[in-house]
Structures are given as structure tokens and as C-alpha cells.
Amino acid sequence: MVVSDELTSLKGVGPEVARKFAVLGVRTVGQLADYLPRRYEDYSVVTPTAKLRPGQVTVRAKLKDVSGRYVRRGMHITEAAASDASGSIRLVWFNQPYRLTSLKHDQEYYLSGKFELSNRRFGLMNPSVELVSDFPLNVARIVPIYRETKGLNSRQIRKCIGQVLPLIRALPETLPAWITEEEKLMPRARAMEAMHFPASATELEQAKRRLGFEEIYELVLASLLNKYELMREQAPPVAFDEKLAKDFVKHLPFQLTDAQRKVVWQIYQDMQKAQPMNRLVEGDVGSGKTVVAAMAAAMVMKDGHQVAFMAPTELLARQHAETLTKVLAPIGYDKKVGLLVGGMSTAQKTSAHKAISDNKMQLMVGTHALIQEKVDMQRLELVIIDEQHRFGVDQRKKLQAKAGHMPHVLNLTATPIPRSLALTLYGELDISVLDAKPANRKPIITEICAPVSRKQRYENIDKELAAGRQMFVVCPLIAESDNLPAMSAEKMYEQLTNKDFKHRRVGLLHGKMKADEKNAVMQKFVSRDLDILVATTVIEVGVDVPNATVMLIEGAERFGLAQMHQRRGRVGRREHQGYCYLMMSDSKSPGRRLRALETSNDGFRLAEFDLAERGPGAVYGTLQHGELDLRVAKLTDVKLIASARKAAQATIDRNEDLLQYPVMYEHVRAIRAVTNLN
């Protein structure tokens, strides 16, 4: 048996079963061996029948008096008695008539299931049954439970994996021997077998530690290799001009925060080097990332060089262009700022292309339109990417390639990144944190709302609207769904327009609308021609509506904390108090996540909480990419991360030849291809 063999080479796997496995992404025996359980049920403790207590149990007993009968509505009941030296118990199976012929009288079996009261008698209900052996698959052990599909359950999957155990036991080692020795890690083959069929809870934990270490080690090693490769590149140094920096700051209508000053200085120091900057600036909504980016851009523009500022949406690109033009005007750079987005006319695009190629447009603000071949950036030295995780790696590489060399790169994100993510996925980036908000910014007042409070809440909101303010309403769905009982944007728009706020101007915005329609609706809201904007998650990205003070999130329990915190940051962005109402879908307890959002305005604290509660995908969507999925490791395991980072750095310091470990090498190569900018 080899890893590339088709599943149909296994006993009991025909074309139909193979098709069901394919639904789970399993097509070869190698993929089956690598198909890890999602959880476990512990049936490893064998209890004498006389000492059974209600709950999940396992007994070792001989079967007696197996019988079966049909009862009302065609239900079949199979019954038997199971006896050991201490006594006997009743066994019952519902609608499993095959048990009548498969169970052998006076044979000794392991039986695992729920011991409970039924028809005023205790018994073992629907137990799993397996003949006593040295290696049971489904009973008398810690039993693996797999992700299943229709017509293919965990019992069938276990049976197939049992057939590939010889292959699992022969799996090659993937880590250098010095790492497994120093970290006291079990061999990979043994760890994989223990994940499927652990001999004990201790062995299972050791297997998880071994495989989790490997996952984190590969992530960190990929990041470090990317970082060191980038350090070997050359980038034109950008000289620091103290007078220009002071002039810029002097003309701002507000004072920079200490955090902004610190981050700008870090960027200036980076750009003075001959190696390309690769920095990520993370900061809560409203922490002043755009001004920091403008100061970086100004330092590049002073020498006649170009800056590309790429945003994920046209609306955001237009807003950035407007903001950057305003803040750069006092130092005379406003005429050097230009826009290039898909929604512009052909004549406008042609004019923009010429201005870029003639270097009259030095700060080019746009969307993916900046990457197109027609755009000729002769003197590109700095690339600024807003909400960098929203762009594909290929898009970012194309933008960098415009320079003909590796430009300095500045990434901006409003998604607070927990330290454990920063140490693993973002190991190749230098990270700056804007952890202070402008002095005049008031914390958003956040309240959890039960559906019964809707009428009263609407009355409070209407007072805000009557004072000239505006409201966002965010819904989890575009249209009604039978599968998800939550308020949709279309239904909410209808209700507010025809009933609750029929005296107000209401707009609708969702992802299925055409780009020009979305831009038109959003522009009406920004221009205060709408009082209420009902939307789906399309308003997540940093649009600035200074007059909006109310954020109503429908079905709040369906959103991640980071998502809701970002949306909350869309209101109260000027002198007026902002409010965020978390409307529940039902009157159940709101739970720990919503309580955390209600009591904290600290995005970093909430991101850490979300990571612990829901895993990395809740914090950062990049993790949804297959190569970055963590199947075993937990990013909350600080000790494991520290050990894996130390080993990854030592691997580079020792100049280890990764080709000696082909499986690990391929994993690291794949991760390098999908992470960040290299």
C-alpha cells in the first residue's frame, strides 16, 4: 500500500463509498491516513455491570437471549442480555434488525453506549458492539469522531482507517532529529496513529503536542524564510527630511497621538535603509492610520518619486483620495494626488494613466485598477495597502512588480491582531500598533437588546435622527432564509420603510447590487440624503460617515467580535456620542461574547477573546485559506508557540537543508506562497 493508492483498493470501498469520501476531500489512502478526527468519545474504562451508573459506559460481557420484534408503526426492537461475573444488564437497539443475526449467543463482546432509564428499567441503549480483541476500533477505547457526510459515518471511516494502519506506521519523519530530541516529541508516525486510535488520554495529548508543534513550526519557518529573503533585496533609501515632517504636523487640524508619532518614526527609519520596508500598521477604527500613511507618502514624494495607495473598494479609494488631498494641501502636495478606479470614464482613466506615466500623479490612490498593465509607474518607491488581508498575494505582487524593484511596503489594517498571530502568521512583518485614539473621541455606548425591547429602542433612535444624525443597520443576510432564522436586509428595509421609520429616508445596500449602484447608495448616505442605511457586511470596510451616530446590528450573536467591533467604529467619529445596539434574534442569554463587546471598547482585548473562544478564523479571514488551517495546534498555546519559534530560528541559524525532509519542505513552500508579500 502506498499513499497514492485509490480508496477503492480498500476492502469494502466501492465506487459509491469512494464518492462519499470524495465529498470529504478524501480520494487516496494517503489522504485517508491524514484525515484527523474532529473530537473523541472516551469509552476506554471497562466497568463491571454491577457497578454501572447512568451515562456513557463500556462493559465486557457475553450476550444471552437475543430477540427481536416489530412494534407500533413498523419500529423494530432488538433486545438482549449482557452478563459478566458481576451480573447482567438489558441491551436495546431501535430499528437495527440486522443485530438479530449478527450477534452471537454466548460470545464475549465489548459494548459501549449510554446506560439510562427506559420504560422504568435501566439498560444500555443502542450500544456499539465489537467482539473482544486486542485492538478494538469502535469500543473499549478513546473513540475518534470524524467529520461525516450523508451515508458515511464515523464507524465506517474508522473501519477504513484501520486498514491503512500499516501505511500510517510507516510514515516518514518530517522534523530534524535534533528538534524531536530537544522538544521530546514522539515520532510522527506514532503521533498520527495515536490521533486515530489513542491508547490513552496521555498518549493523545502527546500526539496533539507533536503535530501541533509541527504546524506552528512550519508557519513560523515560512514567515522567517520570507523575511530573510526580503532582507536580501535592495530598495532605494528614502532620506528623512525633518523640516517637511514638522511642516506637515504643524498644519494638521489636530494633534498627533504619541502612538502616531512613534509609528511614523518607525516607518521613516525603515525607509532610510537599503532593504525594503515590510511593515504592518494595525490600529482600531479611528486610530489615525490614514494620516500616518500620508506622512510616509509625503517623504517619498518630496524627491519626485511615486506612491501607490491601494484600497479594497472604490468608495474607500475615493474617500482616501479626498482625505489625503486635504492633509497634503498645506505642504503643497495636493495637486500630486490622483485617483484611478474602475468606475471612472475611459477619458478619465486615459488622463490618469498619462499623469502617472509622466510622474505628475505621484500619489496614486485606487483599487485593483492600479495593477493593470496599462498603468506605467516609472518611479514607484512605496506601496501602501489598506486592509491588506483583502487582497490576494498575486495582486500584491503585481503592484510591487510595477516598480521594477522591490519597493517599500506599508500595510494597514483595522483588524487587531492577537500577539500569538503576530508571532506566527505575521512573523515576516515588522508590526506597529496604533493603540491610542484621538483625545476628543468618546467611547461608543454599546447595549445588548432583546427583541421585546425593539419598540423602545426605535423611539430612542428616532430622537437621534430627529437631531439630524444618521443610522447604520447591519443584517446577517440579504434575503430571507428557511435555514437561518435571522432578519434579512431586504425584510428590514421593507419594515423600516413602510412601518417603523416611514417618516425617514431609508436606503438599502448589499453585495448583490452592482458596483455603481452600491457607490450611489453609499454616496447618498455620506451626503446626508439618507437617514438610515440598511446593509449587509459590505459596510465593514472603513467608510467614513461623520454624521452617523447609531449602529444597529441585527442577529448580533451571528457575528464575530472583531467584525462587530469594526462596525461599531463606523459611528461616533466626530464630536457626537456614538451608540451601538446589539439586537438579538431571540430572547436567549446573550452569552460571553456579546457581554465582552458590551463592556469593552478595546479591539485588541476583544480579538484575544475571540481567538480563545472561536479560533483564528474568527479573528482573521486569511486563515480560511487551506494552507493556513490549523488542525491540531491552538494559537492560544503560548508555550508551544515559543518552542516552535525557537526551533524555527535555530533551523535557519544551522543552515538546515530542508530538502532532507520533503514532506515538511513542501508544506513550508506552500505556506510561503500564500502568506503576505513574498
- Decide if pLDDT at 678 tops 60: no
204-207 — which CB contacts under 8 Å span 24+ positions? Answer: 204/40, 204/142
In angstroms, the Cα distances linking 598 to 242, 448, 618 are 43, 7, 18
Q: State the pLDDT at residue 623.
A: 45
pTM of the predicted structure, to 2 decimals: 0.74
Cell numbers for 648: 524555527
Alpha-carbon 621 to chain mean position: 4
What is the spatial distance between Cα 196 and Cα 33, in angstroms, rounded to a whole number?
9
What is the spatial distance between Cα 222 and Cα 217, in angstroms, rounded to a whole number?
8
Strands 108-118 and 55-70 turn out to be antiparallel
Average of per-residue pLDDT values in the chain: 88
Contact of 432 with 267, CB cutoff 8 Å: yes
* Per-residue exposure over 202-215, b if at least 16 CB sit within 10 Å of its own CB, e if not: ebbebbbbbbbbbb
When pLDDT is cut at 50, 70 and 90, the band that residue 203 belongs to is very high
Strands 408-413 and 430-434 turn out to be unpaired
Domains of the chain, earliest start first: 1-40+147-170 (1.10.150), 45-140 (2.40.50.140), 242-273+287-413 (3.40.50.300), 445-600 (3.40.50.300)
281-299 pLDDT, tens digit per residue, is: 988 777 889 999 999 999 9
Classify 387 in phi/psi space as left (phi over 0), alpha (psi -120 to 50) or beta: left
Instruction: Compare 486 and 621 and report the one with higher pLDDT.
Output: 486
- Decide if pLDDT at 332 tops 80: yes
SS3 353: helix
Contact of 415 with 289, CB cutoff 8 Å: no
Q: State the pLDDT at residue 139.
A: 87
Contact of 44 with 140, CB cutoff 8 Å: yes
CA atoms within 13 Å, Cβ hemisphere of 58 = 20
What is the spatial distance between Cα 262 and Cα 240, in angstroms, rounded to a whole number?
15
Residues 6+ apart with CB under 8 A from 450: 584, 587
Cell numbers for 208: 496533539
176-200 pLDDT, tens digit per residue, is: 999 999 999 999 999 999 999 999 9
What is the spatial distance between Cα 443 and Cα 615, in angstroms, rounded to a whole number?
27
288-291 — which CB contacts under 8 Å span 24+ positions? Answer: 288/256, 288/257, 288/259, 288/260, 288/434, 288/437, 288/438, 289/386, 289/412, 289/414, 289/434, 290/320, 290/323, 290/324, 290/327, 290/412, 291/252, 291/256, 291/260, 291/327
Which ranges of 379-514 would DSSP assign to H, the alpha helix?
393-401, 419-424, 454-466, 489-495
- Decide if pLDDT at 653 tops 60: yes
464-483 pLDDT, tens digit per residue, is: 999 999 999 999 888 776 56
Cell numbers for 221: 519557518
Please state the rounded mean pLDDT for residues 644-653: 95
Q: How many CB atoms lie within 10 A of CB 645?
A: 20
Residue labelled with grid coordinates 435622527: 465
Angle, CA of 587, 593 and 596, to the nearest 5°: 110
Classify 12 in phi/psi space as left (phi over 0), alpha (psi -120 to 50) or beta: left
Q: State the pLDDT at residue 405.
A: 81
* DSSP states along 535-590: E-GGG-S----TTEEEEEEETGGGS-HHHHHHHHTTS--SSSPPEEEEE-SSSS--
Which of 318, 405, 412, 295 shows the shortest CA–CA distance to 369? 318
In angstroms, the Cα distances linking 422 to 230, 562, 629 are 18, 16, 16
Contact of 124 with 113, CB cutoff 8 Å: yes
What is the spatial distance between Cα 41 and Cα 603, in angstroms, rounded to a whole number?
36
Please state the rounded mean pLDDT for residues 536-550: 75
One-letter amino acid of 225: L
When pLDDT is cut at 50, 70 and 90, the band that residue 677 belongs to is very low
Instruction: Compare 480 and 99 and report the one with higher pLDDT.
Output: 99
Strands 76-84 and 55-70 turn out to be antiparallel
When pLDDT is cut at 50, 70 and 90, the band that residue 675 belongs to is low
- Relative orientation angle of helices 258-271 and 289-301, to the nearest 10 degrees: 30
CA atoms within 13 Å, Cβ hemisphere of 656 = 20
Q: What single DSSP character describes residue 487?
A: -
SS3 595: helix
Among 39-53, 304-318, 427-441, the least confident range: 427-441
Q: What single DSSP character describes residue 66?
A: E
Is the sign of the CA dihedral 171, 174, 175, 178 positive or negative? Answer: positive
Please state the rounded mean pLDDT for residues 496-511: 92
Contact of 139 with 57, CB cutoff 8 Å: no
What is the spatial distance between Cα 271 and Cα 464, in angstroms, rounded to a whole number?
46
| Residue 39 backbone phi and psi in degrees, to 5 | -165, 180
Which of 320, 294, 317 shows the shortest CA–CA distance to 307? 294
235-273 pLDDT, tens digit per residue, is: 889 999 999 999 999 999 888 999 999 999 999 999 999
State the Rg of the chain over Cα. 31
Contact of 111 with 61, CB cutoff 8 Å: yes
What is the spatial distance between Cα 266 and Cα 560, in angstroms, rounded to a whole number?
32
Which of 359, 369, 356, 393 shows the shortest CA–CA distance to 310? 369
Contact of 578 with 444, CB cutoff 8 Å: yes
Q: Is 98 exposed, middle or buried (0-12, 13-18, 19+ CB in 10 A)?
A: exposed
